[in-house]
């Protein structure tokens, strides 16, 4: 029921050699589990992390026809139309032991760079069908490359490697390819390790402002936050956004809104027609940073880990103005900068700053991140729930929900080698579910395949908005709901593993899987049945007949995607793709067979019973939480609530302050006051460092 505050602050302290061995063993295990290669597992895991860390918005794996598979000059890619940037990824994985490990040098990178450059140049001169007559991934990459190249401003080549980069590597200018600027990025294993050990979900950002110091005025100061009013030149803001892109919008989960809203149209008009009035007309931006360095005049010359939590659309429109040639020399933006040096407080404070800041487009409660009550509750269930033992296993294996990047490693930080091995035995890595995994899986079952196809981060934003208010709908997120999530994960992953093995398979596995599951879910809805969650949970696997059913649907989805005249992945991101399937596919009728499916009526009865049970558990939890709150903190809550609190409530609080329990029926009203206090930014302190998950 209770969670030690210190468990969240631990960090795994491995030296690089230990980390390398741990990582390679993980790849080996995943390759066996998925019947794939270590190189493919490294590519997939690296790409997911690079997207999570904000260095790339999304990606497509490049599948080649059989004749091309011996040489893969490029392994993944992404076109960003806003920044007019093409990013290609080259996998330099080597299956070596720790004893044979050496540094990655210029001599390793140069041949790979030349192969990628040569492939792009030759692709620009050839027909897609000449390179890939079977219309697999390379065909559509080349087709999109030829279409977008005339407007492409930058080509970025990212190398991923399981070797450490040599300190002698020279990050020199890479010149141009066919008139397009070329840059290089390198994600070596040491860089991955540093980000995971940093305790954040983003790589650190260091911004040097020594050439354009920012005038800053202290507005308020406390032990936790120091706030400044800052004047930011628009040109500097555009340059920062161009360099770091979405990495500086980590906490502002809204996408760039382009020119669709009246607010953004107004920003654009002001920039173009009255730039000298921009400061007066615009609300500015709200940002956080971990630290700042000042010159002798009190101006900011360096910022560490800058994050724009409100004003993302202002930032993006200023960059858009720069891209279109607007004169930004006379444009300034007001910035409310909050320095939060204690990284342990970031997850607590930043969401409140984002929530209450005066922004053009308000941030909703659903826009909050891994520290939201929903993710905390799912994490809690994953730690407490012991699944049934699978047939053929000697012990139960738990499902580990990782609500923030690195938790799986952090849980092992203070364990011995033997303890770490035992932890991994009980919590195998292949049963870890990240929050973006969960969003992909549940949105597929919720018939939103077009959202899933937009990529993990974009889909997660949609998923976050769909989560109900925990105050009103918290009981529905119960242990039964967690079992439901796991069951759908099992089906999703078993189906995903089988898709590439099919004769009809020609690429685009992510799109095939999400659309197939969505179509099955639609047919189930029409047939008024639901998945038999209890059966899947009991055996910890799905019925083979269900997987065959999905594979049959997958073949039809594959044909549908390939029938599109353009790029199938682009088509899959459009809701029209789903509408076409709804119109063209024949409904599959399902019945309550007591095995794969049960009736909606029976499922609803089970869910209602689980919600009632969770409501009773929440009341007990609330009582424990209220009892654990520090007496001084109760005084702060009383002062905040003020006249809304009756004398009887004051008396109840006084009992809690003195360590006495109160009647059950009095718990819920006081829990509501605590939630109001927390939502307004109040911080709860507990007796003796007790740290319950949340007040429900």
**Residue 155, SS3?**
strand
Q: Domain tally for the chain?
A: 4
Percent residues over pLDDT 70 in the chain: 83
Give the burial class of 102: count Cβ atoms within 10 A of its Cβ; 0-12 exposed, 13-18 middle, 19 or more buried: exposed
Pair (586, 616) in one structural domain: no
Quote the domain boundaries for residue 285: 206-363
Give the burial class of 429: count Cβ atoms within 10 A of its Cβ; 0-12 exposed, 13-18 middle, 19 or more buried: middle
Pair (138, 262) in one structural domain: no
- Residue 606 forms part of a structural domain: no
CA dihedral 111, 113, 119, 122 (to 10 degrees): -90
CA dihedral 460, 464, 466, 468 (to 10 degrees): 150
Pair (187, 215) in one structural domain: no
Pair (283, 425) in one structural domain: no
Give the burial class of 555: count Cβ atoms within 10 A of its Cβ; 0-12 exposed, 13-18 middle, 19 or more buried: middle
Contact between residue 265 and residue 285 where contact means Cβ atoms under 8 Å apart? no
Q: Which of 631, 622, 628 is nearest to 675 (CA)?
A: 622
How much is the pLDDT for 135?
73
Pair (403, 549) in one structural domain: yes
- Residue 596 forms part of a structural domain: no
Token match 């139960």: residue? 396
Listing DSSP states for 237-271 in one string gives HHHHHHHHGGGGGSS--PPP-TT-SHHHHHHHHHH
Please list the rounded mean pLDDT of every run of 10 residues in the chain (696 residues).
34 72 87 88 90 83 65 88 89 91 90 93 88 77 91 93 87 83 92 75 81 91 88 91 78 44 60 77 86 93 89 83 84 90 67 57 46 83 87 85 82 81 89 92 97 90 76 70 93 95 90 98 94 90 95 97 90 96 95 85 68 55 71 83 78 81 74 76 67 47
Alpha helices in 182-311 (DSSP H): 189-197, 234-244, 262-273, 278-281
CA distance 121 to 146: 10
Pair (287, 427) in one structural domain: no
Q: What angle do CA 29, 33, 37 make, to 5 degrees?
A: 70
Q: What is the pTM of this model?
A: 0.71
Pair (501, 541) in one structural domain: yes
Q: Which of 605, 496, 493, 573 is nearest to 540 (CA)?
A: 493
CA distance 580 to 389: 42
How much is the pLDDT for 127?
87
Using DSSP bridges, classify how beta strands 176-177 and 180-187 pair: parallel, antiparallel or unpaired.
Answer: antiparallel
- Residue 350 forms part of a structural domain: yes
Q: Which of 101, 186, 57, 162 is nearest to 458 (CA)?
A: 57
Q: Taking the CA of residue 290 as centre, how many other CA atoms within 13 Å lie in the half-sphere pointing to its CB?
A: 17
DSSP secondary structure code for residue 187 in this structure: E
- Residue 635 forms part of a structural domain: yes
Using DSSP bridges, classify how beta strands 291-294 and 300-304 pair: parallel, antiparallel or unpaired.
Answer: antiparallel
CA distance 72 to 84: 24
Q: Which of 139, 174, 197 is the last residue of a domain?
A: 197
Give φ, ψ of 233 to 5 degrees. Answer: -60, 135
How much is the pLDDT for 523?
96
Give φ, ψ of 421 to 5 degrees. Answer: -65, -40
- The radius of gyration of the chain from alpha carbons, rounded to an integer in Å, stands at 27
Pair (378, 359) in one structural domain: no
Pair (164, 265) in one structural domain: no
CA distance 210 to 228: 18
How much is the pLDDT for 260?
45
Give 285-343 pLDDT, tens digit per residue: 889 898 999 999 999 999 998 988 888 778 888 888 888 788 888 888 999 999 987 76
Question: In the chain, how many H helices and how many E strands?
Answer: 28, 18
DSSP secondary structure code for residue 12 in this structure: -
Strand partners, 292: 303
Q: Which helix (H) or strand (E) holds 632?
A: helix 631-641
- Residue 604 forms part of a structural domain: no
Using DSSP bridges, classify how beta strands 307-310 and 285-289 pair: parallel, antiparallel or unpaired.
Answer: antiparallel
CA distance 625 to 692: 6
Pair (422, 393) in one structural domain: yes
Q: Which of 343, 15, 412, 57 is nearest to 200 (CA)?
A: 343
First to last CA, the chain: 13
**Residue 374, SS3?**
helix
Extract the tokens encoding 312.
Answer: 């993302």
Using DSSP bridges, classify how beta strands 85-91 and 180-187 pair: parallel, antiparallel or unpaired.
Answer: unpaired
- Residue 585 forms part of a structural domain: yes
Pair (256, 349) in one structural domain: yes
How much is the pLDDT for 266?
64
Give φ, ψ of 228 to 5 degrees. Answer: -130, 150
- Residue 597 forms part of a structural domain: no
Give 509-558 pLDDT, tens digit per residue: 999 999 999 999 999 999 999 999 888 998 899 999 999 999 999 999 99
Q: Which residues contact 110 (CB under 8 A, 6 or more apart)?
A: none
Pair (548, 520) in one structural domain: yes
Token match 């210190």: residue? 6
Q: Which of 500, 491, 479, 608 is nearest to 544 (CA)?
A: 491
CA distance 320 to 324: 6
CA distance 252 to 415: 35
- Residue 53 forms part of a structural domain: yes
């Amino acid at each position: 029921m209770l969670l030690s505050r210190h468990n969240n602050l631990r960090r795994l302290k491995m030296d690089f050699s230990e980390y390398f061995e741990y990582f390679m063993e993980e790849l080996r295990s995943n390759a066996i589990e998925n019947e794939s290669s270590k190189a493919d597992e490294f590519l997939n895991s690296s790409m997911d992390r690079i997207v999570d860390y904000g260095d790339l918005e999304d990606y497509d794996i490049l599948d080649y026809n059989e004749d091309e598979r011996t040489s893969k000059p490029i392994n993944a890619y992404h076109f960003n139309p806003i920044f007019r940037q093409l990013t290609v990824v080259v996998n330099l994985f080597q299956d070596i032991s720790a004893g044979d490990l050496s540094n990655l040098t210029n001599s390793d990178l140069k041949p790979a760079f030349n192969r990628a450059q040569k492939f792009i140049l030759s692709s620009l001169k050839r027909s897609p069908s000449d390179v890939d007559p079977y219309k697999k991934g390379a065909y559509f990459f080349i087709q999109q490359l030829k279409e977008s190249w005339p407007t492409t401003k930058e080509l970025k080549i990212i190398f991923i490697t399981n070797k450490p980069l040599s300190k002698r590597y020279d990050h020199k200018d890479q010149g141009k390819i066919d008139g397009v600027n070329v840059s290089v990025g390198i994600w070596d294993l040491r860089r991955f390790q540093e980000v995971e050990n940093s305790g954040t979900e983003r790589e650190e950002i260091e911004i040097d402002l020594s050439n354009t110091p920012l005038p800053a005025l202290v507005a308020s100061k406390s032990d936790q936050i120091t706030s400044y009013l800052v004047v930011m030149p628009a040109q500097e803001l555009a340059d920062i956004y161009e360099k770091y892109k979405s990495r500086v919008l980590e906490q502002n989960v809204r996408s760039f809104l382009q020119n669709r809203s009246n607010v953004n149209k107004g920003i654009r008009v002001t920039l173009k027609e009255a730039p000298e009035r921009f400061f007066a007309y615009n609300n500015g931006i709200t940002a956080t940073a971990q630290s700042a360095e000042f010159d002798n005049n009190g101006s900011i010359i360096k910022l560490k880990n800058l994050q724009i939590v409100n004003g993302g659309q202002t930032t993006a429109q200023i960059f858009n103005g720069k891209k279109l040639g607007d004169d930004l020399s006379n444009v300034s933006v007001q910035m409310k900068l909050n320095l939060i040096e204690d990284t342990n407080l970031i997850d607590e404070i930043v969401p409140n700053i984002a929530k209450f800041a005066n922004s053009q487009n308000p941030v909703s409660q659903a826009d909050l991140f891994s520290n939201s009550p929903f993710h905390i509750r799912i994490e809690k269930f994953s730690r407490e729930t012991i699944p049934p033992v699978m047939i053929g296993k000697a012990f139960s294996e738990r499902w580990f929900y990782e609500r923030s990047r690195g938790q799986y490693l952090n849980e092992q930080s203070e364990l011995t080698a033997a303890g770490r091995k035992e932890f991994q035995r009980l919590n195998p890595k292949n049963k870890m579910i990240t929050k973006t995994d969960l969003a992909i899986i549940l949105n597929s079952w919720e018939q939103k395949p077009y959202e899933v196809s937009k990529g993990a981060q974009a889909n997660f934003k949609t998923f976050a908005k769909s989560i109900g208010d925990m105050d009103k709908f918290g009981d529905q997120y119960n242990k039964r709901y967690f079992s439901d999530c796991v069951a759908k994960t099992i089906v999703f992953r078993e189906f995903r593993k089988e898709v590439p093995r099919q004769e009809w398979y020609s690429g685009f596995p992510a799109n095939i899987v999400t659309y197939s599951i969505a179509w099955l879910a639609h047919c189930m809805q029409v047939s008024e049945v639901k998945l038999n969650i209890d059966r899947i949970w009991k055996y910890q696997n799905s019925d083979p007949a269900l997987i065959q059913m999905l594979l049959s649907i997958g073949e039809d989805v594959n044909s549908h995607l390939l029938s599109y005249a353009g790029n199938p992945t682009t088509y899959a991101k459009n809701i029209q793709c789903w509408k076409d399937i709804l119109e063209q596919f024949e409904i599959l009728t399902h019945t309550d067979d007591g095995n794969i499916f049960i009736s909606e009526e029976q499922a609803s009865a089970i869910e209602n019973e689980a919600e009632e049970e969770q409501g009773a558990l929440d009341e007990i939890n609330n009582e424990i939480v209220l009892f654990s709150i520090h007496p001084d903190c109760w005084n702060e809550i009383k002062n905040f609530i003020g006249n809304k609190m009756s004398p009887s409530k004051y008396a109840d609080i006084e009992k809690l302050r003195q360590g006495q329990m109160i009647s059950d029926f009095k718990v819920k009203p006081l829990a509501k006051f605590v939630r109001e206090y927390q939502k307004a930014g109040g911080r709860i302190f507990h007796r003796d460092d007790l740290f319950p998950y949340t007040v429900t």
